[in-house]
Structure 1
Amino acid sequence: MTDTSSTLRIVWVYPDLLSTYGDQGNALVLRRRAEQRGVCTEIVHVNSSDRVPREGDIYLLGGGEDRPQVLAAHRLRACGGLLRAAEDGAVVLAVCAGYQIVGESFGDDEANPLPGVGLLDIRSGRGQHRAVGEVVADAAPALGVGQLTGFENHQGRTALGPGVAPLAETRVGVGNGDGTEGCFRGRVIGSYLHGPILPRNPALADVLLGWAMGDLPPLPPSWSERLHEERLAAAG
């Protein structure tokens, strides 16, 4: 049953470093779909000069360029707030550069391996070719969200370890580079999908909200569902 008695805290992590592709739209969609169910929400913007609080319910990381990504990873490791929040059971959605950061390691702009935050058992490097374009992928059945749609623009290739499950199997696009897209473990999801991912995939937004709040009443179809179907059709 949904708890509407307290405020849902959505923490937007390092918008000054990781906000290249409009991924703040993920926070806005979560807020909208929570408030439509009578849940009060608060979006907390945490810049790279600030401490990442442990008290959030859902944490969001977006895309970024190579050098801001390196700085973001360094500060997140030094702060430790995101790791502790995840250990406490918070929900985390990390996209593109953020996805690589929350893994065990990733490559800098000269392909040197650097340590990540360690939320996901993944290791990322640089591929020979840049992946740019629409993605269609079949989400893991355990999530119950059907197909995912998004836009990718990255040169990363990500190897999944045994501690994670693929978020989806790709039909169109590159994703991790091995026929899969993103991954998840517990309440932590990583993905290369922009668009942003949650406005394009409202069912996935509801999965995150359900993890944070409990069972959710359904919402009537809206522009998010129409956008989802339109982008799937456009990608063919």
Structure 2
Amino acid sequence: MSSDHIKIVWIYPDLLSTYGDQGNTIMLERRAALRGIPTRTVHLRSDEHVPDDGDIYLLGGGEDRPQILAAQRLRKDGGLHAAVQAGKAVFAVCAGYQILGHEFGGEEGQPLPGLGLLDIRSGRGERRAVGEVVGDVAAELNVPRITGFENHQGVTSIGPNAKPLAKVVAGVGNGDGQGFEGAYAGHVLGTYMHGPALVRNPALADLLLYWALGVEIPPLDYSWAGRLREERLNAVLPAT
């Protein structure tokens, strides 16, 4: 954080906001406010330049054509690349997750170039994954078991310069047969989980705030977000 507040950049809500993932911005604002940390959220339309002074950048889900347009405009713009090079936090969901990679599947399943900001490659599978997904997060991220809702036909493989976000306990996740969900490298993190993901998993929101601030943040008391997480986990895995 380079100023007196955390700047959250919600990228292209006019293209990538199909599945309610804007709730991720609200959750970040709320978790920061509960700690007395001011935030400012910018809703960045697709005809606007991606600023390089954000602290957390968010991308949501979308249909095929908007996803293609978003990838084209972000490649041409270059602002998100500059943000990643500067170590800023990026959180992307579903279509946004695929866009971060080297390639993703187009409207007819043809490979299209992504942003190359995360070492993943995505294509289109034969079956659509729809339903609850649960995963055990990589230990180094210090985030407990995550829960979300997946609705995608993507198949994503992770290259050597990225790591799996979580090991799938229930659901499909990346769908490449390796049993993982999502991927991350540095401060760039992607997932297929809707829900919205940060509302269901407040510890993920706190991880992004920690990356933005660069210092440890105090824990919060148990809240409705914690109850929601437990409710969804118990609905999928009653013995959890």
TM-score range, shorter chain: over 0.9
Return the TM-score normalized by structure 2.
0.96
Give CA-to-partner distance per residue, 1:141-165, whole Å, 9 cap, x none: 1111121100000000001000000
* 2:88 is equivalent to residue 90 of structure 1: yes
Equivalent residue number for residue 157 of structure 1: 155
Q: Provide closer, same or farther for how the CA distance between residues 128 and 49 of structure 1 changes in structure 2, counting only shifts above 3 A.
A: same
Summarize the alignment of residues 32-51 of structure 1 with structure 2, pairs less than 5 Å apart.
32-51=30-49
The CA distance in 1 between the partners of 2:14 and 2:109, in whole Å, is 23
Equivalent residue number for residue 196 of structure 1: 196
Moved over 4 A (4+): none
% same residue:
62
Amino acid at match of 1:215: E
Summarize the alignment of residues 56-135 of structure 1 with structure 2, pairs less than 5 Å apart.
56-135=54-133
The CA distance in 2 between the partners of 1:4 and 1:122, in whole Å, is 30
Equivalent residue number for residue 206 of structure 1: 206
Amino acid at match of 2:116: G
Return the TM-score normalized by structure 1.
0.97
1:4 Cα deviation from its structure 2 partner? 11
Amino acid at match of 2:114: G
Q: Provide closer, same or farther for how the CA distance between residues 4 and 61 of structure 1 changes in structure 2, counting only shifts above 3 A.
A: closer
Residue 47 of structure 2 aligns to a residue whose secondary structure is coil
RMSD: 1.1
CA contact (8 A) 1:103 1:122 kept: yes
Aligned length: 234
Q: Provide closer, same or farther for how the CA distance between residues 124 and 5 of structure 1 changes in structure 2, counting only shifts above 3 A.
A: closer
Give CA-to-partner distance per residue, 1:28-72, whole Å, 9 cap, x none: 000111111111100101010110101000000000000000000
CA contact (8 A) 1:4 1:39 kept: no
